[in-house]
Amino acid sequence: MNHTNFKQNYVNLGKLIHSPSCCCKNNCNKNELQMKILIVLTSHSDLGNTGEKTGFWIEEFAAPFYVLKDNAAEITIASPLGGQPPVDPKSELPDSQTTATKRFYADNEAIEQVAHTHQLSKLNYADYDAAFYPGGHGPLWDLANDKDSIALIENFYNHDKPIAFVCHAPAALINAKRADGSYLVAGKDVTGFSNSEEEAVKLTDIVPFLLESELKRLGASYSKGSDWASYVKRDGVLITGQNPASSEDTAIMLLNLLIKKIGSN
């Protein structure tokens, strides 16, 4: 994967998405955009039986959120239960902060948007052009089995709409299937939080399954980069990032895929 090339495309995206001939619907003004993106967060807060808390990882939400927002995407945020999704407290520690998380903490509008997520069951995939799933350990427990999320993913995939997942969020894929009944990830080039990274955070025996092992078991062509370094894979409309460091690059790749689709319309 050539990070330089797709980041350059991201730099050029601002010109593209503000072109009315590219992104506006019939008889619209130049500020009306086609890019409507759904971000799906976990509603699960318990880290197994440890008595500790989990949820979504702030950086994995914040970095993609601003990549998308800064390029004029209309963003809807949803979760299985709606309302305030749980935040993984470890993602609030000082050594987990980035430029994007600091921006988020100062962004009252974004904080309010996260605090009032839409309930996933009430949304229609047809209203969105793409979906992005941030991680945190929470998805291993809820999004992996949530029927509304599974249906959403299957509809996005079957209608050729880009779907992106980072870190533990590819867990949301494990029960999704193609129209022929086969697992959606079977034969697909994917990545996700690695077994070695899970071991490094000492949660191998806590999580309900190891994401790398489960993706391989389902027939995915899983690959990974170095632990904690950015690594992103794309196979058709399916985009996956390995870990928190991959958040921004995963979102950029999602935007680049939308650029191609916009350009072909």
Find out whether 76 and 128 touch, Cβ atoms under 8 Å.
Answer: yes
**SS3 assignment, position 10:** helix
User: Mean pLDDT throughout 73-82?
Assistant: 97
Considering the domain boundaries, does residue 4 fall inside one?
A: no
User: Mean pLDDT throughout 112-124?
Assistant: 98
Dump pLDDT digits (tens) for 219-243.
999 999 999 999 999 999 999 999 9
* Other beta carbons within 10 Å of 239: 27
Considering the domain boundaries, does residue 124 fall inside one?
A: yes
Q: At 251, which CATH number?
A: 3.40.50.880
Instruction: Count how many domains the chain has.
Output: 1
User: Mean pLDDT throughout 47-68?
Assistant: 98
User: Mean pLDDT throughout 199-209?
Assistant: 98
The pLDDT, as a whole number, for residue 263 is 74
Dump pLDDT digits (tens) for 22-34.
443 333 333 444 7
Considering the domain boundaries, does residue 22 fall inside one?
A: no
Compute the mean pLDDT over every residue in the chain, rounded to the nearest whole number: 90
The pLDDT, as a whole number, for residue 44 is 98
Considering the domain boundaries, does residue 212 fall inside one?
A: yes
Considering the domain boundaries, does residue 21 fall inside one?
A: no
Considering the domain boundaries, does residue 228 fall inside one?
A: yes
Between these two residues, 123 and 260, which has the higher pLDDT value?
A: 123
Considering the domain boundaries, does residue 249 fall inside one?
A: yes
pLDDT-derived band of residue 119, with 50, 70 and 90 as boundaries? very high
Residues of the domain holding 125: 32-264
pLDDT-derived band of residue 58, with 50, 70 and 90 as boundaries? very high
Q: Quick one: which of 246, 90, 53 has its CA closest to 166?
A: 246
Does the predicted TM-score (pTM) go above 0.85?
yes
User: Mean pLDDT throughout 120-140?
Assistant: 98
CA dihedral sign of residues 158, 246, 7, 25: positive
What Å distances lie between residue 29 and 20, 37, 77, 82, CA to CA?
7, 20, 25, 33
Considering the domain boundaries, does residue 13 fall inside one?
A: no
The pLDDT, as a whole number, for residue 213 is 98
Residue 250 has pLDDT above 80, yes or no: yes
Residue 21 has pLDDT above 90, yes or no: no
